[in-house]
Amino acid sequence: MNDRLHIALGQLVNAAYALNEGQPFTLPEGMEQSDTIYGKDLDGAEHPFGIVATDTVTKEVYVGIRGTDNWLEWITDGEALLVGSTFAPGARCELGFLSLYLTLRLTNGPISSLPAVSGIAGHSLGGPLATMLATANKARELVCFASPKPGNLAFAQVADESVASITLYANVPDVVPHVPLTLPPWESYTHVAPLTVLDSTGSTHGLRAAHDLNTYLKLLGGTQP
């Protein structure tokens, strides 16, 4: 596990949030933006969801995908129905996450034209999007912060086979990594890898602070939020 790289990828996700909100942002040292990833909300409006960045020395490609940033995306989060996908036979994904993933595009081309990626990161809603993109791209590394469960066991298996390294960070007081919940007799949701646990208990107050990406990055950096 490369904490330094994971923090840099988290900073790239923060830049994606700022881009969507029209705010200035700084990319991790040694990276420059090479493209933007767009996606459509339920009303059909298109927004920036991710930043594609290239290492200025190694030319490796990295992607950061933001999470929920408006009320329509909260509805997307709640569309907890498993539906079939094209990732593999039997691989089923949460309806809202998959529907949004299928709208993703680069500035001047389909998401399938994204070059081979060394690392992809996502926060919250961006976790399932990053997971699907990393699986399709066969990315070398996937890092998710506070990601909900993206799909069923068959999807988890194809993600594990497609991505060389997967790290899923979950803060103890954050409830988001434990949803969607599964009620019998329906098929279970599952994460694509075991959770790597962080703990801000005692240093954050409320669900919002526990879920915040900056809380995760501060914990990962060894400092209290």
In a domain, 225, yes or no: no
Buried b (16+ CB within 10 A) or exposed e, 62-96: bbbbbbbbeeebeebbebbebeebebeeebbbbeb
**Could you list the residue range(s) of the whole structural domain that residue 158 is in?**
3-220
Q: What CATH number is given to the structural domain containing 212?
A: 3.40.50.1820
Identify whether 146 is part of a domain. Answer: yes
Note whether residue 97 is domain-resident.
yes
Contact (CB, 8 A) for 37 and 65:
yes
pLDDT values of the chain reduced to their tens digit, one per residue, 225 residues: 568 999 999 999 999 999 999 999 999 999 999 999 999 987 788 999 999 999 999 999 999 999 976 444 444 445 578 999 999 999 999 999 999 999 999 999 999 999 999 999 999 999 999 999 999 999 999 999 999 999 999 999 999 999 999 999 999 999 999 998 876 667 899 999 999 999 999 888 888 899 999 999 999 986 544
Given a contact cutoff of 8 angstroms between Cβ atoms, the answer to whether 183 and 189 are in contact is no
The structural domain count of the chain equals 1
